[in-house]
Amino acid sequence: MQGTNPTERKINMPAELSENTAELIIKFAEAMAEKLHKSEQKYGYSEDWMLNNWELECKSQLMRHIQKGDPVDVANYCAFMLYHGWSTIPPMPEGE
């Protein structure tokens, strides 16, 4: 996905899904992709999200981004967690 030309990808959706809901999903997925692309460029992130050794960090970052208030960042961390099958239950504080 190099360059500035958007790459078209297919999203499978139920045929009965309303047109407005389908459009919402597409626009949100585009916003997620744009945010992740900017992070890849700015911070050099790549596919580290695929590693299995960062569940606690991912949960901590999810909670941090909830507090920051950006739903796109929150969704991206949720997507990482979905990929791994991790729960969104916050990490337990030390000693509990």
For 32-47, what is each residue's pLDDT tens digit? Answer: 999 999 999 999 988 9
Q: Is the pLDDT of residue 67 over 70?
A: yes
pTM, rounded to two decimals: 0.85
Q: Are 88 and 79 in contact (CB under 8 A)?
A: no
Task: Please give the full DSSP string across 11-74, using - where no structure is assigned.
Answer: ----TTS-HHHHHHHHHHHHHHHHHHHHHHHHH---SGGG-SS-HHHHHHHHHHHHHHT-HHHH
Q: For residues 1 and 79, what is the distance between their CA atoms, to the nearest angstrom?
A: 19
Q: How far apart, in Å, are the Cα atoms of 44 and each of 8, 30, 57?
A: 23, 20, 18
pLDDT digits (tens, 9 = 90+) for 43-59: 998 899 999 999 999 99
